[in-house]
Amino acid sequence: MIRPVDLGVCQGYEYEGDAARTAIALPGAMLAGMPALWYAFEPLLAEDWRIVLVWDQYLDRSEDPTAWARIRAEAAESYAGDVRLVLAKSLTTRAAGLVAERGWAGIWLTPLLDDAESVAGLRRRSAPALLVGGTADPSWDGELARELSDDVLEVGGADHGLARIDQAPLIAAAVRAFSARLLRA
């Protein structure tokens, strides 16, 4: 079951599932990170994860992007309670420092690997991370991604949107494998 929720700073949706498997999903700058974000959290729903999805867009470009991402992640955490996993798309890589502080595992879709602050947050993490990006994305650096994590999905020819339907099964398979390892840990 899905229901709309008020996260205070923005709207969200809660997808019911096992509360011991709670994930928060953070949007990209536009369209709440869809459809790429959906490709990543649909396999989790099938495995009975509870997901709190932040539904917002980064429209005011004068606002600090790190503060924007962090505030939404904290609002989702406040609503969700005990969080085990974060899914983030693009701009919300800026929340990587908060995710590292909390010790959460992360699935990073089109992470901003050309952004020093995002990379620094990813480097500080202690929990597992899956990085997903495409070779046609200017913010993707496959070599750096593999330095940051052993769990990397690099999609040949994929751009920053990571939105083509033929990419969905690749993302879903990587997420399922990553999630299975988290649950065994």
Average of per-residue pLDDT across 28-40: 82
Looking at the predicted structure, is the pLDDT value of residue 33 above 80? Answer: no
- The structure tokens listed for 183 are 């649950």
Split into its structural domains, the chain has a count of 1
pLDDT confidence of residue 32? 62
Range of the domain at 138: 2-184
pLDDT tens for each residue of 39-72: 999 999 999 999 999 999 999 999 999 999 999 9
Average of per-residue pLDDT across 127-131: 98
pLDDT tens for each residue of 93-107: 999 999 999 999 999
What CATH code is carried by the domain that includes residue 20?
3.40.50.1820
Average of per-residue pLDDT across 121-131: 98
